[in-house]
Copies of this chain bind each other. A is one copy, B any other.
Amino acid sequence: MRTTYDHVVLIRDLSWLLELGDAGHVTEAAATIGTSQPTLSRALARLEDELGVRIFERLPTGVSPTPEGEIVIEAARDLVARHDLLVAALTHRLDPDSGMVRLAFLDSMATTLVPRLLRAFHAQAPGIKVVLSQEPTHHIHRDLDRGVVELGLTMDRAEGHAWLPVRRERLVVVVPPGHRLRHRKRVGLAELADDELVTTPAGFAHRALVDGLLADAGISPTISFESADLATIEGLVAAGLGVAVVPEAFAGQSGSVGLALSSPGATRTIGLTWRTDRPLAPPAQRLVDFVRGQGWDD
């Protein structure tokens, strides 16, 4: 019911006003704008009514701004310019050549997958800025849902999210330098039944993965330490505090010994994931397309 507002001014009307100021004729300006003369005539009347001042004086030869009109036109120029600036800023963000994409990934990818992926992507799309954040899996999904990031790199696909495999990494067993199995090239997980295990806390994707492998092997080792960080886990193993199952790239970093696993399914698959309930912004879409085109799964 209420139709009396303080700020109903249309930005469009203001931009029409500028055209009108330049043209000096309602008819001519309307043609330039691409509307009818009465429509522009009424848009002007509407603005004058809302602002409470006469903006243009009507003369037999056209229209001419009143002193108040000069003020309004100057302000309109400013407002329209700032609106255009806003649109430009948003467009720039969405421009597939110059925009920005936010990517969240797991700590365990920070030194391996992510740098290689981004180096290749940056070479192809140098204008796109990639904002990175390292987070646990559940934070990644939350941030995806909240729009804080457009893309995530995870090991699991969540409900309602697209998921594109990027790379499969072999998992290895790491043991301390003095461990009984240290000279083996290849071990079966079942051989670790009596070892103490260092792994990630419950709730982490890596933990679920390792638990699955252990269950398949029919063992459930004692867990000595838990850490969210795979590099830390490798360090604990190197210090003799247990054994662990980690991605190949983490083996040996601080002195642990990596042993290949005999089970062929001992891999973790990392995938790009994003919301599907609304279309991706162009820069994010471009990164997805890049991954899809590269065939990063080797």
From known contacts A6-B12, A10-B10, A11-B9, infer whether A54 and B278 are also in contact, taking CB-CB under 8 Å: yes
A208 within 8 Å of B by Cβ? no
Q: How far is the CA of A19 from the CA of B115 in the complex (A)?
A: 42
Q: How far is the CA of A87 from the CA of B68 in the complex (A)?
A: 11
A80 within 8 Å of B by Cβ? yes
Q: How far is the CA of A14 from the CA of B10 in the complex (A)?
A: 11
From known contacts A11-B9, A80-B7, A147-B66, infer whether A75 and B57 are also in contact, taking CB-CB under 8 Å: no
From known contacts A9-B10, A9-B12, infer whether A68 and B82 are also in contact, taking CB-CB under 8 Å: no
Q: Which residues of B contact A57 (CB under 8 A)?
A: 146-147
Cβ-defined partner of A89 (8 Å) among B11, B71, B85: B71
Cβ-defined partner of A9 (8 Å) among B51, B83, B90, B148: B83
* CB <8 Å contact, B7 and A12: yes
Q: Which residues of B contact A35 (CB under 8 A)?
A: 2
Q: How far is the CA of A126 from the CA of B72 in the complex (A)?
A: 26
Q: How far is the CA of A67 from the CA of B59 in the complex (A)?
A: 49
Q: How far is the CA of A45 from the CA of B72 in the complex (A)?
A: 29
A79 within 8 Å of B by Cβ? yes
Copies of this protein, total: 2
* CB <8 Å contact, B8 and A11: yes
A94 within 8 Å of B by Cβ? yes
- Partner-B contacts on A (CB < 8 A): 2, 5-12, 14-15, 34-35, 51-54, 57, 59, 64, 66-68, 71-72, 75, 78-80, 82-83, 85-87, 89-90, 93-94, 102, 146-148, 278
* A-B complex: 6 closest residue pairs judged by Cβ atoms: A7-B12, A75-B86, A57-B147, A9-B11, A7-B11, A66-B147
Taking A9-B11, A68-B93, A72-B90 as given, write out 15 further A-B residue pairs in contact, using a Cβ cutoff of 8 Å, ordered by the A residue number. A2-B34, A7-B10, A7-B15, A8-B10, A8-B11, A9-B10, A9-B12, A11-B11, A54-B278, A57-B146, A67-B148, A71-B86, A72-B86, A75-B85, A79-B86
* Sampled A-B contacts (21; CB under 8 Å): A2-B34, A6-B12, A7-B14, A8-B10, A8-B11, A9-B11, A9-B12, A9-B83, A10-B10, A10-B11, A11-B79, A51-B86, A51-B87, A67-B147, A72-B86, A72-B90, A75-B85, A75-B86, A75-B89, A79-B82, A79-B83
